[in-house]
Structure 1
Amino acid sequence: MKVNVGDKVSYEDTYAAGIKMVSAGVGKVVELKPDVCGKSNKLIAVIKQHGHEPFEMFTNGLEVVDR
């Protein structure tokens, strides 16, 4: 399912080098931008979760909860 700006999305725990970077939760997509560092055509979503700093995650790791 395609993720759009304003969608409420859920995501799973994200690990890097065995360290939990992002705990699972629900947030709102506030911006979509292309992956400028990689050589793919994946999109990166900027997610804002209530009470936390915004963070970035690939859209293929997100699931739309409510439109």
Structure 2
Amino acid sequence: MFTLQLIPGAISEILASSSETGTLTLADRYGLLAAILDESLAEEERRAVNRLLFAVRKGRVRVL
């Protein structure tokens, strides 16, 4: 079994990058996976992840 660790500031970086490029890379997806599995994630970061997933659902951000 393996553990995922979220890099500090990764959520804001993924959000900024995806809004700029309109895409979500494989590395971004792994970062989001780590964030979702992190039970100590701050509420603000959890909302940012939800906004990003909503943008993917609406087609504003494309998953590569």
TM-score band (shorter)?
Answer: under 0.3
- Which protein is richer in strand relative to its size? 1
TM-score w.r.t. length of structure 1? 0.24
Structure with the higher fraction of residues in helix conformation: 2
